[in-house]
Amino acid sequence: MRLEGHASPEVVSSRLGWTPYDVYMEPAKYIWMDGAQVPWDEANVHVLTHALHYGTGVFEGIRAYEAEGGTAVFRLREHMERLHRSCKAYRMDLDWSVDQLRDATKQLLAANELESGYVRPLVYLGLGAFGLDPAGSSIHTSIISFRLGAYLGEDGIANGITTKVSSWRRFSHDAFPNAKATGTYINSVLAKMEAVKNGYDEAILLNADGAISEGSGENLFLVQGGVVYTPPISAGCLDGITRQSVMTLLGDDGHTIREKTIHRSDLYYCDELFMTGTAAEVTPIREVDDRAVGDGKPGPITKRAQQLFADAVGGKLSKYSEWLDYV
Ligand SMILES: Cc1ncc(COP(=O)(O)O)c(C=O)c1O
């Protein structure tokens, strides 16, 4: 899958058969690299970059929203803290503090004149070592920002997406640390390609025990009898910041939320299913393994989660104002 920054959205979408802007990377003016804003086209790396060969990078996905009161980055501090934890797991000495990365992000969004968009911080090992022991490799930090629409499509947000349980299993946290590392995403890429090739919007991955873990880039929630369930992090899923936010929002709204082991057939009999993620936001699932979820339309708790999330990111809920970092 080639997604050149300069291909038009129409070209990208016709390759994928998706609507424009779902995954299109609209070039912005600058990319932040190791402390400086460099022009988009000059933000390049050497082919011997260690991370290119061995996946030795960690990253984040963050969104900025046009909120009441201006452009606000959603849970920027928590994302940069998770980036620091991922670095620790992979023993990468990150030169930049959480606050420095927050400032750099906000300055970049301003320089790129983005009122809203996606932010992708990336820490990776560069030149120095050829072998698997990365000692001696340089370490680099970059932050990219660009405009991004609904990751799973506007229709997916409104009416729900179709999903299929993948033939690929999610790796457990004793194979890789619970962190957001570039190398591990090749597992998600396999699952996503399989799902899309077979006509589904998204994959759902089981873990090695056969329990539900998560989507290729999203956490999963299930509603049954008015109770909201989600797999525990020990099911091999990422400790999603949208997951935590939605659990807080729905919990404060009076809903019961439980972490529990979820099995494949639970997906067939539940009332509602939805996915959460920075890119996917709150996306209803209308079909799993060719079976309608509930009546095949987004259910009331899913819609409530969408509304609460939209209000929180939009700065309409003063209770959660500390979640917003204004540019
Ligand atoms: C594998 C995976 N699970 C879950 C998520 C959701 O995490 P978050 O809500 O922090 O974006 C993501 C997205 O980053 C992801 O890539």
Per-residue pLDDT of 264-280, as tens digits, reads: 999 999 999 999 999 99
Q: Among the atoms of ligand 1, which is closest to the Cα of residue 60?
A: 14
Cα separation, 274 vs 281, whole angstroms: 10
Give the domain range for residue 279: 154-313
Q: Is the pLDDT of residue 95 over 60?
A: yes
**Which CATH number is 288's domain given?**
3.20.10.10
Length of the chain: 327
What pLDDT score was predicted for residue 26?
Answer: 84
Q: Is residue 55 part of a domain?
A: yes
Check whether residue 173 and residue 134 sit in a common domain: no
Domain boundary among 89, 112, 146: 146
Distance of CA 295 to the CA centre of its chain: 28
Domain boundary among the residues 126, 146, 166 is at: 146
Residue nearest to atom 4 of ligand 1 (CA): 218
Pocket perturbation via mutation, ligand 1, pick of 23, 80, 219, 220 by most ligand atoms within 8 A of CB: 219
Q: How far is the CA of 130 from the centre of ligand 1 (A)?
A: 30
- Residue having the nearest C-alpha atom to atom 5 of ligand 1: 218
Domain-embedded: residue 323 = no
Residue 3 forms part of a structural domain: no
Q: What are the residue ranges of helices labelled H in 55-151?
A: 76-89, 98-111
In this structure, the residues whose C-beta lies within 6 A of any atom of ligand 1 are 61, 188, 214, 217-219, 237-238, 240-243, 276-278
Pairwise CA distance, residues 174 & 181, whole Å = 14
Domain identity same for 166 and 290? yes
Do 190 and 301 fall within a single domain? yes
Query: Would you say residue 56 lies in a domain?
Result: yes
Ligand 1: nearest atom to the Cα of 82: 10
Q: For ligand 1, what atom is nearest to the CA of residue 188?
A: 1
Number of helices (H), then strands (E), in the chain: 9, 17
Residues 162, 232: one domain?
yes
**What letter would DSSP give residue 192?**
H
In whole angstroms, what is the distance from residue 238 CA to residue 62 CA? 14
End-of-domain residue from the set 101, 118, 146: 146
Question: Is the domain of 29 the same as that of 108?
Answer: yes
Ligand 1 atom 1, closest CA: 217
Give domain status of residue 326, yes or no: no
Average pLDDT of the chain is: 93
Q: Are 203 and 137 contained in the same domain? A: no
Residue 63 is assigned to a structural domain of this protein = yes
Domain count, the chain: 2
Looking at residue 40, the DSSP 8-state letter turns out to be G
Cα 35 from Cα 95, distance rounded (Å): 10
Please name the residue whose Cα sits nearest to atom 7 of ligand 1: 240
Q: Please compute the mean of the pLDDT values over residues 283-303 and round it to a whole number.
A: 98
Cα separation, 185 vs 191, in Å, equals 10
Residues 204 and 109 in one domain: no
Reported as a single tens digit per residue, the pLDDT across 131-150 is 999 999 999 999 999 999 88
Q: Tell me if 325 is assigned to some domain.
A: no
Question: Which two tokens mark 105?
Answer: 């992000």
- How does DSSP classify residue 264? H
> In degrees rounded to 5, what are phi and psi of residue 297?
-125, 155
Residue 193: pLDDT above 90?
yes
The Cα 267–Cα 273 span in angstroms is: 8
Tell me the catalytic residues: 180
Asked whether residue 321 is domain-assigned, the answer is no
